[in-house]
Structures are given as structure tokens and as C-alpha cells.
Chains A and B, each alone.
Chain A
Amino acid sequence: DAGVTQSPTHLIKTRGQHVTLRCSPISGHKSVSWYQQVLGQGPQFIFQYYEKEERGRGNFPDRFSARQFPNYSSELNVNALLLGDSALYLCASSLEGGLAFDEQFFGPGTRLTVL
């Protein structure tokens, strides 16, 4: 079975542009979460989606948005890119998206570089 897949693998953008990152969860998983990992830091929670509804949002500006589609895949959008948005963006999927912990499976990430 395929794990969590993310596209693209690498991306280079310039300041002010917008970017869309994509994630396909493990088959049967209904929840997707997004994390930003800046070099030298741990992953930082951005969003969690479950059944197309936002279940949680981290401390990120409104330039960051996401959505989940009926097939449970997800997109993360970042507008007006800043140099500080350069990071590895990780997507994770889990079976459910309830209030209790549910084991997450991470994709390999998308490396975004903003010049």
C-alpha cells in the first residue's frame, strides 16, 4: 500500500508569489495535518482537517490556508511568500480526526525555497 504522498518534492518561488502544495493520505485515512519544519527546528503544526472540515489551526498568519477534498486529499496554500516561509512542509494522515490521539503517518515532505 502506498504511504502518504506529497507533491511536488521540491519547489523554488520568489517573494510575493503564492504556492500550492498537495498531499494524498493513506487509503482509508480521513484526516490530514500539515506541519512546517524550518531548518534546525522541529515540525510546527499548521492545520488539521477531518472530513473536509478544519479541526485545528496553529499559530500561522492568514496567508496560510488549506482545504480537504471529498477523496480526503489536501492542499496547503501560502500567499505572499516571505523568505521565512522557506521550509520543509510535511503532511501527515491518520485514520480519524477526533479529539483523542490517533497515530499519524508522515509523508516525505515538500521542500520550499523562497528567494
Chain B
Amino acid sequence: DQQVKQNSPSLSVQEGRISILNCDYTNSMFDYFLWYKKYPAEGPTFLISISSIKDKNEDGRFTVFLNKSAKHLSLHIVPSQPGDSAVYFCAALFPNTGNQFYFGTGTSLTVIP
């Protein structure tokens, strides 16, 4: 039972353009959401997070948007750079469950120079 879904397995974007990665979840009780980036042969690294009390969080080139009514979050990368090419996972947490993440299936982003 996949509670966090990333329906696009892959995405290709030209360097300098915007990358938009999407994530849907089924359980409205999730209250914290995160994005992780993973390079081959490395573990996932934390990118950005958002609490369910917010609808937007920015960190440099990365912005996460949360639409609670649609149970949807998205990660925007502007401008995209070749070094952003990686697999991106969204993850969700229930309240008071520490670090027991529910991960999506991942989206492989390729930024074309």
C-alpha cells in the first residue's frame, strides 16, 4: 500500500530551465514532508522540507509547495543545473513518529547541458 507516490519515474530538463517534480500522498494525517536527492552509489541526502502548516518553503534554487486539499506537493528547481541530475524522493511523516519516513518511488531527473 503505497501512501506516497511519485508518478513520473523520469524527467528531462534543459539546463537553466525549471524542473518540477511532483508527489502525491493518500493519508491526510501526514504532517511533515521532505525531499531527498540521491546520486548513484551514495545514500539519499536531505534537500528541503515543509510542515503541513505551511504551503511553501524556499531554500536558494529549491522551493517546495504543499497543497493539502489536493494531497500534493511539488519541488521546483530554478534554474536547473547539470549537477542536479539525480533521483529525487519525496517523503512524509506522521506526527510524533520521529524519523519513520514514508518514501515515494523516486523521480530520476536529468538536466541536459
Contact = CB atoms under 8 A, between A and B. Distances in A.
A35 B89 CA distance: 14
Interface string A80-107: 0000000000101010011111111111
A48 B98 contact: yes
Interface in B66-113: 89, 91, 93, 96-106
Interface residues of B, number: 26
Interface of B: 4, 6, 32, 34, 36, 41-46, 49, 89, 91, 93, 96-106
Nearest to A42: B103
Contacts of A92: 43, 99
A2 to B, nearest CB: 13
Contacts of B91: 42
B96 A99 contact: yes
Contacts of A100: 96, 98
Contacts of B99: 31, 33, 48, 56, 92, 94, 97, 101-102, 104
Nearest to A93: B99
Nearest to A57: B100
Nearest to B106: A42
Contacts of B105: 40-42
A78 interface: no
Best-surrounded residue of B34, B41, B44, B103 (most CB of chain A within 10 A): B44
Interface of A: 4, 31, 33, 35, 40-45, 48, 50, 55-56, 58, 90, 92, 94, 97-109
A108 B42 contact: yes
25 contacts: A42-B4, A42-B89, A42-B105, A42-B106, A43-B44, A43-B89, A43-B101, A44-B103, A48-B100, A50-B98, A55-B98, A56-B100, A58-B100, A98-B98, A99-B98, A100-B96, A101-B34, A101-B49, A102-B98, A102-B99, A104-B46, A104-B101, A106-B36, A108-B41, A108-B42
B38 to A, nearest CB: 8
Nearest to A9: B41
A68 to B, nearest CB: 14
